[in-house]
Amino acid sequence: MIPAPPPTTPPNIVFVLIDDMGYADLSCYGNRLARTENIDRLAREGVRFTQFYVSAPICSPSRTGLLTGQYPQRWRIHSFLETRAANTKRGMAQWLDTKAPSVARELQKVGYATGHFGKWHMGGQRDVGEAPLITEYGFDTSLTQFEGLGDRILPLLDADDGTPPKRYALGSDTLGRGSITWLDRSKVTGAFASRAQAFMTEARAKNKPFFVNLWLDDVHSPFFPPKAVRGDGSKKVLYNAVVQEMDSQLGPLLEYVRTIPNTIVIVASDNGPEPGAGSAGAFRGQKGNLYEGGIREPLIVWGPGLVQPGVVNEKTVVTSVDMFPSLLKLAGVAQAHDGEELSEALLGKKQPLRRRPIFWKRPPDRPGPSARERFPDLAVREGDWKLLCMADGSAPQLYDLKTDPGEAKNLAREQPERVRQLTELLLAWNKTLP
Amino acid sequence: MIPAPPPTTPPNIVFVLIDDMGYADLSCYGNRLARTENIDRLAREGVRFTQFYVSAPICSPSRTGLLTGQYPQRWRIHSFLETRAANTKRGMAQWLDTKAPSVARELQKVGYATGHFGKWHMGGQRDVGEAPLITEYGFDTSLTQFEGLGDRILPLLDADDGTPPKRYALGSDTLGRGSITWLDRSKVTGAFASRAQAFMTEARAKNKPFFVNLWLDDVHSPFFPPKAVRGDGSKKVLYNAVVQEMDSQLGPLLEYVRTIPNTIVIVASDNGPEPGAGSAGAFRGQKGNLYEGGIREPLIVWGPGLVQPGVVNEKTVVTSVDMFPSLLKLAGVAQAHDGEELSEALLGKKQPLRRRPIFWKRPPDRPGPSARERFPDLAVREGDWKLLCMADGSAPQLYDLKTDPGEAKNLAREQPERVRQLTELLLAWNKTLP
């Protein structure tokens, strides 16, 4: 909506999404059982977040939050997309509606080359073969696996016991609508990365910025790392071998990206760990539930010259749906508005509670009746509380509008913690203004 | 952004904005010195809000919030637009950037006939004659007064003392860029209303829905009601006469609107009262400051068959910037996303605090390990607090993530008020889902 001035050169964006990897499974987040050197290096050279949340503790809705910038349940994607019958039984859509917003489509509109490589899982799996193609969601091209349509790589599971490798397709090989390549599961990450790299090269040849989803699927059961690193064959060992191998296979792509100026790489995981495999560290819970372990994930943002190096952001709570407005802002097509959609209140049908605070700033030419008596510079209302203060946060006035609509009784002294919180919120808002 | 399914017939929308009228100046909001029968009738037949806020306690930024759906300071509109020198001195823009979002432009794009009639004050006043025309902001046509460009009506002030009426133009008559009609100030509201009515008739002939701003300016000093109702000539009497006369002159238009199906009329005021003239009732403060009296205003929404009749909404806090997403939603072009724009955090440049809570809903096929031990259905994080509960609000768990990231110590019993607030917020969010 807001045509912000376009940046000198819109940045390239590569979004690496890992599958079912827990909060503490990268070594830069504390893993001692696997080394993720390439990703760790991105973290050292970029920003590492400790308070990143996905929109759901399971694949399909988590991915929907990233793509659409909306809570996935708005599109009836509550859990992982399964068979037609299972989707219906759980009250879910069969696939993500193509009318849903798509950050890829918005970037495509403003001239980005857009590619999706890897797991999709927003439609076109099991027996659901008539779902839209990934290219209908704003991607110029795609290569996926058994949870998406179009050209795909399906894995061969090699048990390393002398028997032929088994095909693992979950029905995808019967759906048509794209070419199928069978590949040893331990090599799939490299294949997706290599295809993504070729796409970037093509985009550069066309002088287009690129937006690439590289959504890996190896770090998800069944775990089939290369033979050499299978150790005792236990679930934990196999899992950590897969994590480390995923990092290794990303290496060449990340080296290539270093040669391309103006490029941002984002690394995250889609939901919490499967029990017995990954780890959420100190957090409670796992894949599938809403405790922190199910929804708090790694997030690393890297981009020499664009992204501040060596930052650990323990303060900003970021969530998947923030990617939509944030990436568009980075591309110079910011779309935010400050309001809340309250049409049902306007129509008198409901009386919803407001979800966001409201902020105000005093006109500069209305300082107050005298030098001694100044009007407050700033104000915020959150719930029934209203805080007014000067631009530096001083002279706070706190009122409970429910019991004191006339703002007669200043409760700032009685409630220092609330004053602190609201002042911080208000000053942070003020700083967003030009 | 979200191409919501278009409503069967997009509703017509008439936005009546009154100037400098206080919260308590309509008789349906408690005024005993003037009767506003026509507007009161809209309130009886529609929804009347008691917690509506404007974006600023003064004209230009308040109007900017309504038009753009953004805090007006984002566009450097901090106070009323004045002369070039005065604007510069206060760090303000000379006019609203045409790159700013405009609800009119969005409605125009989807086929609405859009007209602005009355006070503008977002550029083109005093000595600033090169501001954009109102039609550059998404209006097909416009008729304004001395605080806008294009065709305009300028007032003649008749002191009723035998001397010729004085022209009152604040320099607008020297700016060019439109035809000028001089008219007795006591008749200006009727002239704007009449022109708006003609516009609606034209739109209907073209089978187009219409969006009409009818932004009146009589209820703003200088107060020049018709001679017959000037009473003792005191400020208070003149003011209330102007309020009542404004209501009367709206009458024919409102009667006409009753003949047009599928039409919503919205009535509000742009900021708090000028001292000695209007009244904010029990609220503290006035035009220009951030106490409730400066920013809390009447809001009435009427529309037979669309809007519930006879509702007084004392619960929903609505603010000007909400009109942008809410009106677009009503027109079937809802644009909301759920995320927050946090690109500066992604770039590591700042560590902003999140302004909105985050919500989650558990996948339905992950109910919990046993019938006795169920995972929570819903969760919300606001600040450092996280609340989890079942879909009906039962079994709340409250954690302070700052001190207890492992969600080990449930504080729900200790903090019933916080549990109540967060539960209400969370259940309200859940209700917005399909």
What's the pLDDT tens digit per position in B400-419? 988 998 889 999 999 999 99
Q: Work out the pLDDT band at A363, boundaries 50, 70, 90.
A: confident
- pLDDT(B4) > 70: no
Task: Extract the tokens encoding A43.
Answer: 């973290």
pLDDT given for residue A338 in this prediction: 67
Give the nearest partner residue to B360 out of A49, A295, A341, using CB atoms: A295
- pLDDT(B338) > 80: no
Burial of A434 by CB count in 10 Å (0-12 exposed, 13-18 middle, 19+ buried)? exposed
pLDDT given for residue A128 in this prediction: 97
Answer whether A48's CB lies under 8 Å from A297's CB.
no
Q: Which domains does chain B have, with CATH numbers?
A: 12-330 (3.40.720.10), 355-431 (3.30.1120.10)
Dist CA B125 CA B141 (whole Å): 18
pLDDT given for residue A334 in this prediction: 53
Dist CA A228 CA A165 (whole Å): 16
Torsion of CA B408, B413, B417, B418, to 10 degrees: 0
Triad B133, B134, B140: Cα angle to 5°: 115
Give the nearest partner residue to A341 out of B53, B334, B368, using CB atoms: B334
pLDDT given for residue A159 in this prediction: 87
Give the nearest partner residue to A323 out of B70, B339, B428, using CB atoms: B339
CB contact (8 A) between residue A337 and residue B70: yes
Residue A13 distance to chain B (closest CA, Å): 12
CB contact (8 A) between residue B325 and residue A339: yes
Average pLDDT of A62-91? Answer: 92
Average pLDDT of A321-329? Answer: 84
Secondary structure class of A160 (helix, strand, coil) = coil
Chain A CA closest to residue B406: A283
| % of chain B beyond a pLDDT of 90 | 70
Radius of gyration of chain B measured on its C-alpha atoms = 24
Q: Work out the pLDDT band at B365, boundaries 50, 70, 90.
A: confident
Q: Work out the pLDDT band at B360, boundaries 50, 70, 90.
A: confident
CB contact (8 A) between residue B428 and residue A352: yes
**CA neighbor of A123 nearest in space, from A149, A160, A156, A159:** A149
Task: Please list every residue in chain A whose beta carbon sits closer than 8 Å to the beta carbon of residue B402.
Answer: none
pLDDT given for residue A74 in this prediction: 82
Secondary structure class of A65 (helix, strand, coil) = helix
Answer whether B265's CB lies under 8 Å from B302's CB.
yes
Radius of gyration of chain A measured on its C-alpha atoms = 24
DSSP E strand stretches across A282-333: 296-302, 311-313, 318-319
CA A208 to chain centre: 24
pLDDT given for residue A28 in this prediction: 98
Dist CA B241 CA B263 (whole Å): 29
Angle at which helices B235-257 and B188-205 cross, to 10°: 20
Query: For testing the chain B interface, which of A323, A340, A381 should be mutated: the one with the most B CBs within 10 Å?
Result: A340
pLDDT given for residue A383 in this prediction: 86
CA distances from A237 to A160, A240, A433 (A): 16, 5, 51
pLDDT given for residue B6 in this prediction: 38
- pLDDT(A97) > 50: yes
CB contact (8 A) between residue B290 and residue A379: yes
Task: Please list every residue in chain B whose beta carbon sits closer than 8 Å to the beta carbon of residue A321.
Answer: 337-339
Q: Bridge-partner residues for A215, per DSSP?
A: A17, A118
Torsion of CA B306, B308, B311, B317, to 10 degrees: -50
Chain B CA closest to residue A61: B363
ipTM of the complex: 0.70
Chain B CA closest to residue A418: B383
Q: Are strands A385-389 and B378-382 parallel, antiparallel or unpaired?
A: unpaired
Torsion B67-B71-B75-B79 (CA) sign: positive
Dist CA B235 CA B321 (whole Å): 32
- pLDDT(A343) > 90: no
Answer whether A16's CB lies under 8 Å from A214's CB.
yes
Query: For testing the chain A interface, which of B55, B58, B347 should be mutated: the one with the most A CBs within 10 Å?
Result: B347
Residue B121 distance to chain A (closest CA, Å): 15
- pLDDT(B429) > 90: no
B345 Cβ partners below 8 Å, 6+ apart? A47, A49, A313, A316, A318, A326, B351, B352
Average pLDDT of A8-30? Answer: 95
Q: Work out the pLDDT band at B250, boundaries 50, 70, 90.
A: very high
pLDDT given for residue B290 in this prediction: 87
Output the average pLDDT for chain B: 91
Give the nearest partner residue to A313 out of B1, B101, B351, using CB atoms: B351
User: What are phi and psi for residue A295, nearest 5 degrees?
Assistant: -130, -15
B233 Cβ partners below 8 Å, 6+ apart? none
Give the nearest partner residue to A406 out of B46, B282, B361, using CB atoms: B282
Q: Give the least confident one: A17-26, A156-165, A209-218.
A: A156-165
Instruction: Assign residue B315 a region (left: φ > 0; alpha: ψ between -120 and 50; beta: otherwise).
Output: alpha
Give the nearest partner residue to A434 out of B74, B295, B336, using CB atoms: B74
Dist CA A202 CA A230 (whole Å): 37
Residue A285 distance to chain B (closest CA, Å): 9
Average pLDDT of A16-45? Answer: 97
Can you list the alpha helix ranges (DSSP code H) found in B142-234? 188-205
- pLDDT(B352) > 80: no
**pLDDT tens-digit map of A130-150:** 999 999 999 999 999 999 999
Task: Extract the tokens encoding A432.
Answer: 């967003």
Chain B CA closest to residue A431: B352
Q: Give the least confident one: A178-187, A339-348, B138-147, B248-257.
A: A339-348
pLDDT given for residue A335 in this prediction: 56
Question: What burial letters (b/e) apply to A310-339, b meaning 16+ CB within 10 Å?
Answer: ebebeebbbbbbbbbbbbbbbbbbbbbbbb
Output the average pLDDT for chain A: 91
Dist CA A152 CA A170 (whole Å): 13
Q: Work out the pLDDT band at B358, boundaries 50, 70, 90.
A: confident
- pLDDT(B160) > 90: no
Task: Please list every residue in chain A whose beta carbon sits closer than 8 Å to the beta carbon of residue B401.
Answer: 292
Q: Bridge-partner residues for B210, per DSSP?
A: B113
Task: Please list every residue in chain B whose beta carbon sits closer than 8 Å to the beta carbon of residue A86.
Answer: 365
- Look at the block and give the residue holding tokens 């659901």: A128
Task: Extract the tokens encoding A229.
Answer: 């690193």
Task: Extract the tokens encoding A47.
Answer: 């920003």
Secondary structure class of A130 (helix, strand, coil) = coil
CB contact (8 A) between residue B406 and residue A282: yes
Chain B CA closest to residue A363: B79
**CA neighbor of A66 nearest in space, from A25, A34, A96:** A96
Task: Please list every residue in chain A whose beta carbon sits closer than 8 Å to the beta carbon of residue B421.
Answer: 383
**pLDDT tens-digit map of A250-292:** 999 999 999 999 999 999 999 999 999 999 999 999 999 889 8
Average pLDDT of A194-219? Answer: 97
Torsion A46-A49-A55-A58 (CA) sign: positive
Triad A81, A109, A76: Cα angle to 5°: 20
Give the nearest partner residue to A316 out of B5, B306, B345, using CB atoms: B345
User: What are phi and psi for residue A236, nearest 5 degrees?
Assistant: -60, -45
pLDDT given for residue A268 in this prediction: 97
Chain B CA closest to residue A296: B405
Average pLDDT of B195-214? Answer: 97
Q: How many Cβ atoms are within 10 Å of A232's Cβ, its own excluded?
A: 7
Burial of B291 by CB count in 10 Å (0-12 exposed, 13-18 middle, 19+ buried)? buried
User: What are phi and psi for residue B89, nearest 5 degrees?
Assistant: -60, -35
Dist CA A313 CA A307 (whole Å): 12
Instruction: Assign residue A346 a region (left: φ > 0; alpha: ψ between -120 and 50; beta: otherwise).
Output: alpha
**pLDDT tens-digit map of B278-301:** 999 999 999 998 898 999 999 999
A163 Cβ partners below 8 Å, 6+ apart? none
**pLDDT tens-digit map of B58-106:** 999 999 999 998 888 888 999 999 999 999 998 999 999 998 889 999 8
CB contact (8 A) between residue A56 and residue B363: yes
Answer whether B57's CB lies under 8 Å from B288's CB.
yes
Task: Please list every residue in chain A whose beta carbon sits closer than 8 Å to the beta carbon of residue B395.
Answer: none
CB contact (8 A) between residue B343 and residue A335: no
**pLDDT tens-digit map of B101-114:** 899 998 998 899 99
CB contact (8 A) between residue A407 and residue B285: yes
Average pLDDT of B163-180? Answer: 96
Average pLDDT of A27-54? Answer: 95
Average pLDDT of A232-246? Answer: 97
CA distances from B101 to A338, A353, B70, B105, B215 (A): 11, 26, 8, 8, 19
Average pLDDT of A116-142? Answer: 98
Give the nearest partner residue to A316 out of B74, B317, B352, using CB atoms: B352
Chain A CA closest to residue B90: A364
- pLDDT(B50) > 70: yes
Torsion B51-B144-B199-B246 (CA) sign: positive
CA distances from A154 to A84, A113, A140, B278, B395 (A): 21, 25, 21, 73, 44
Task: Please list every residue in chain B whose beta carbon sits closer than 8 Å to the beta carbon of residue A330.
Answer: 343, 346-347
pLDDT given for residue B7 in this prediction: 43
Chain A CA closest to residue B376: A290
Chain B CA closest to residue A287: B366
pLDDT given for residue B1 in this prediction: 35
pLDDT given for residue A110 in this prediction: 85
**CA neighbor of A381 nearest in space, from B268, B295, B324, B428:** B295
Question: What burial letters (b/e) apply to A108-138, b meaning 16+ CB within 10 Å?
Answer: beeebbbbbbbbbbbbbbbbbeebbbbbebb
Q: Give the least confident one: A76-85, A356-365, B117-126.
A: A356-365
Answer whether B420's CB lies under 8 Å from B385's CB.
no
Burial of B297 by CB count in 10 Å (0-12 exposed, 13-18 middle, 19+ buried)? buried
Q: Work out the pLDDT band at A337, boundaries 50, 70, 90.
A: low
CB contact (8 A) between residue B284 and residue A408: yes
Task: Extract the tokens encoding A12.
Answer: 């390239």
